[in-house]
Amino acid sequence: MIRLGVPSKGRLMEKTFQWFGDRGLILSRTGSDREYAGKVEGADIALVLLSAGEVPRELAAGRIHLGVTGSDLVREKLTRWADRVEVVAKMGFGHADLILAVPKIWIDVDTLDDLDAAAAQFRATHGHRLRIATKYHRLVREFLQANGVADYQLVDSQGATEGTVLNHTAEVIADITSTGETLRANHLKVLSDGMIHDSQATLFRSRVAPLDDAQQATLDDLRGRLADVDRG
Amino acid sequence: MISAIDRERAADLLRQFTDAGAQPVETEILQPAGTLLDLYGEDIRGRAFTTTDPLTGETMLRPDFTVPVVQAHMANGADPARYAYAGEVFRRQEIDEGRPREYLQVGYEVFDGSDPAAADAEVFDLIARAMAPWGALPATGDLGILIAAIEALTTSARRRAALRRHLWRPIRFRRLMERYTGAIPPTTTRSVMLAQLQTTAPETLIDAAGTPVGLRGTAEIAARALSLVEDAATPPINRTEAEVIAMILNMDGPMAAALSPLRDMAVDLPGLDGAVDRLEARADALSRRGHDPAQLSFAPARGRSAMEYYDGFTFTFAAPTRPDLPPLATGGRYDALTAVLGAGRSIPAVGGVIRPGLLGDIA
C-alpha cells in the first residue's frame, strides 16, 4: 500500500478528489465531517489528509509516497526541492502567482530596476531598509538575489499581507494572487517583471520514501492511468 | 566536524601570525543580526544561521570574523594595529550538502593607513608563507581599478553612484551598464510616464494614480520621478568608456603585464591613473618581499562577488590538485566596509583568512 497525502479541506481538497476521480480513483473522506480520515477505491493506496502546508515536509521525510500541494509551497519549504521530490503531474487547478506589488501611487516604479533604486532612496531617506512583507521568505530572497536587488528587508506576514502597506508595517508585498482583486482594493499594483513563481496544484512523488515491489507496482499502475487520461 | 588535527593546524597558523607581531583577538560566536543585515542585506540570511535571543532579539552564529574584529578595533584599538584570530565560523549550506556548516578560520588583519601598498604586500606575504607547505596557487585582483574607472566615467553623478553601489552585484551592474549605454531601451510604461511628465507635475500624476498608502511619501516619489526625467535626458555612456569597463572586467594575466594596458586605458579614461599607480606601488612592494609580479596571476575583478565588499587588493590561494575545493585562503582590502561600520570614520584595513580544515583535505 502506498501513502498519498492530500489537502484535508476546502476547494483544494474537492478539486483533488475530482482530479483523481476523472482518472478512475475514487477518493473520499470517511467518518464525520470533522474527522480527518479518508479512503481510496480502485487502488491499493492509503489516503492521508493533511494541511497543504505540511505535504512538502511529509514528502521530504518519506512518510508519504505521493502528495498533492501547491508548487509554491514545495519550493519555499524544501531546499533543493528537485532532488527530494519529483513532479508526477501538474494538476491544472489552484493557479496562483507569487508576485511583488507596490503602491499604485509609485509612478516611478514599474520594474525590479526601479524597485532597487527606490530601495536605495528609501534607505537614505528613512534610515532603514525598504520592507517587503511576505510569508515566502526563501522564494522572495532567492528571486531578489538572482536579480541583484539590494537594500530591502523581509518582514514576516502570515496573513492579510496586502494590508501591511496601509498599516505602515511594510512598503512592498510579495504574495500569492489569483485574480488581483485584493491587490487593487488595497491600492497596490504588480511590478511588470515581478512574477516570482506561477504556482499550481501539483502531484509530487517523494524521492526518499522506499518502495517495495508491491508498492512499485501500485505506483506504476497509477502512472499508467494518469498517462492514459492525459493522452485523452 | 572540526577535527583535533584541524585545531592543531589552526593553533600553529595562529602562532605564525602572532609571531609576526599580531595581537590575538577573540570575538563572540553569537553576533547581533542587525549589524550583519544592515551591512550585507537579506542575502546574509542564505549564508548565516539565525537564532533568537529572548532578550536581545535576532542573533546570528558568526558567519565570519571581519565585522566583529573591525568593531573590536574601533571600540578600543590602537592605530596602527595588527590582529590575529582563530575560531569557528558557521555557514548555512542550501545548495551543496557536502560543504561544512562549521569550520575554522585563522585570520590576520592590518589596520594601518600609513603605506597601503606595503600593508597589502605584508598580508599577502604572510599568508603565502603559511601556505607554502601546501603548494597553494596564488591569484590576485584589484577592485580599486574598477572603482576608479566608474568614478572616471563621463556621465551623471547619479549613474556613477548607482554603478558604484552595485560593484559587488555583477548581474545588476551589467543591467545598469546596458541601460546607461542605451543598449536596452526604456519600457513602454516608462516612456509613457516620461512623456506625461513633460507637461504634468509629478504630484498631479501621483494624485491621479490612486489612494496614497505606505511610508514612502509623495515628495520621495516625485523626486525620483524627476530624477528619471533627468536621467532620460542624460546622454548614453560612450562606447570607448564602456569598453574600458568591459576590458577591466575581462582582464586576466600576470600582474606585471597588466600595467601597460591599464596605462593605455587611462588615456581613454583619465582618472584611472591614480589606481594604476597604486597597483604599481603594490607590485613593487610584493616584489620586494620576493613575489614576482611577472609570475603572479592578476584579474582586476577577482573577488568581486565574494560578498566581503573588497574595494582594493584581493587575493586567493587555491589547492593545486583540487579545483573542486573552495580557496584555501582568501583576503583583501576592505576600506569601504570599515567606513560603513565606523559611521563615517574610515579605517584603512586589509586582511586574510586561511581555512585549516581544507588543508587536511589536500594533505
A195 and A206 both lie in a single domain: no
B7 and B62 both lie in a single domain: yes
* Confidence at residue A39, expressed as pLDDT on a 0 to 100 scale: 85
Q: Is B37 within the bounds of a domain?
A: yes
- The tens digit of pLDDT for each residue in A167-222 reads 999 999 999 987 788 999 999 999 999 999 999 999 999 999 999 999 999 999 99
When the pLDDT of each residue in chain A is averaged and rounded to a whole number, the result is 92
* Confidence at residue B151, expressed as pLDDT on a 0 to 100 scale: 96
Identify the band that residue B309 occupies on the pLDDT scale cut at 50, 70 and 90.
Answer: confident
Is A152 close to B41, i.e. CB distance below 8 A? yes
Alpha-carbon gap, residue A10 to B255, rounded angstroms: 66
Flag whether the pTM goes above 0.95. no
* Confidence at residue A227, expressed as pLDDT on a 0 to 100 scale: 82
CATH label of the domain that carries residue B350: 3.30.930.10
Which domain, by its residues, includes B186? 155-232
A100 and A191 both lie in a single domain: yes
A31 and A120 both lie in a single domain: no
Identify the band that residue B363 occupies on the pLDDT scale cut at 50, 70 and 90.
Answer: low
Alpha-carbon gap, residue A156 to B1, rounded angstroms: 33
* Confidence at residue B351, expressed as pLDDT on a 0 to 100 scale: 97
Mean pLDDT of B61-87: 91
A72 and A114 both lie in a single domain: no
* Confidence at residue B39, expressed as pLDDT on a 0 to 100 scale: 86
Q: Is B12 within the bounds of a domain?
A: yes
A56 and A81 both lie in a single domain: yes
Least Cα distance to B252 among B330, B149, B117, B140 occurs for B140
Q: Is B293 within the bounds of a domain?
A: no
B5 and B69 both lie in a single domain: yes
CATH label of the domain that carries residue A184: 3.40.190.10
Identify the band that residue B306 occupies on the pLDDT scale cut at 50, 70 and 90.
Answer: confident
Alpha-carbon gap, residue B74 to A69, rounded angstroms: 51
A74 and A14 both lie in a single domain: yes
Say what percent of chain A tops pLDDT 90: 77
The residue out of B169, B203, B232 marking a domain boundary is B232
* Confidence at residue A38, expressed as pLDDT on a 0 to 100 scale: 82
The domain tally of chain B equals 2
B46 and B99 both lie in a single domain: yes
The residue out of B201, B217, B232 marking a domain boundary is B232
Which of the pair, A180 or A165, is modelled with greater confidence? A165
B181 and B71 both lie in a single domain: no
The separation between CA B133 and the C-alpha centre of its own chain, rounded to angstroms, equals: 28
Mean pLDDT of B339-353: 86
* Confidence at residue A230, expressed as pLDDT on a 0 to 100 scale: 67
Residues of B engaging A, defined by a Cβ cutoff of 8 Å: 37-38, 41-43, 45-46, 94-95, 97, 162, 165-166, 169-173, 175-176, 179, 187, 189-190, 193, 202, 205-206, 209-216, 218, 220-221, 223-225, 228
| pLDDT over 60 at B7, yes or no | yes
- The tens digit of pLDDT for each residue in B240-279 reads 999 999 999 999 999 999 999 999 999 999 899 999 999 9
The domain tally of chain A equals 2
Identify the band that residue B102 occupies on the pLDDT scale cut at 50, 70 and 90.
Answer: very high
| pLDDT over 80 at A232, yes or no | no
The residue out of B232, B261, B295 marking a domain boundary is B232
Q: Is B164 within the bounds of a domain?
A: yes
Neighbours of B294 (CB within 10 A): 10
Q: Is B219 within the bounds of a domain?
A: yes
* Confidence at residue A53, expressed as pLDDT on a 0 to 100 scale: 92
A100 and A185 both lie in a single domain: yes
Give the helix, strand, coil percentages of chain A, each rounded to 5.
35, 30, 30
From B245's Cα to the closest Cα of chain A, the distance in A is 19
Say what percent of chain B tops pLDDT 90: 78
- The tens digit of pLDDT for each residue in A80-135 reads 899 999 999 999 999 999 999 999 999 999 999 999 999 999 999 999 999 999 99
Q: Is B207 within the bounds of a domain?
A: yes
Is B171 close to A147, i.e. CB distance below 8 A? yes
- The tens digit of pLDDT for each residue in B213-242 reads 999 999 999 999 999 999 999 999 999 999
| pLDDT over 70 at B107, yes or no | yes
Which of the pair, B343 or A3, is modelled with greater confidence? A3
When the pLDDT of each residue in chain B is averaged and rounded to a whole number, the result is 93
Neighbours of A218 (CB within 10 A): 19
Is A79 close to B94, i.e. CB distance below 8 A? yes
* Confidence at residue B42, expressed as pLDDT on a 0 to 100 scale: 87
Alpha-carbon gap, residue A51 to A3, rounded angstroms: 15
Residue A122 has its nearest CB partner, among B170, B172, B216, at: B216
Which domain, by its residues, includes A153? 96-199
Alpha-carbon gap, residue B268 to B240, rounded angstroms: 7
Residue B209 has its nearest CB partner, among A104, A120, A141, at: A104
For A:174-213, CB contacts with B below 8 A are 186-188, 192
A109 and A193 both lie in a single domain: yes
Is B189 close to A116, i.e. CB distance below 8 A? no
| Closest A-chain CA to B209 | A105
| Closest A-chain CA to B222 | A108
- Asked if residues B301 and B142 have their Cβ atoms less than 8 Å apart, the reply is no
* Confidence at residue A35, expressed as pLDDT on a 0 to 100 scale: 67
A156 and A220 both lie in a single domain: no
**Radius of gyration of chain A measured on its C-alpha atoms:** 20
A194 and A109 both lie in a single domain: yes
A103 and A216 both lie in a single domain: no
- The tens digit of pLDDT for each residue in A7-50 reads 988 899 999 999 999 998 999 888 766 667 788 888 899 999 99
Q: Is B287 within the bounds of a domain?
A: no
Q: Is B296 within the bounds of a domain?
A: no
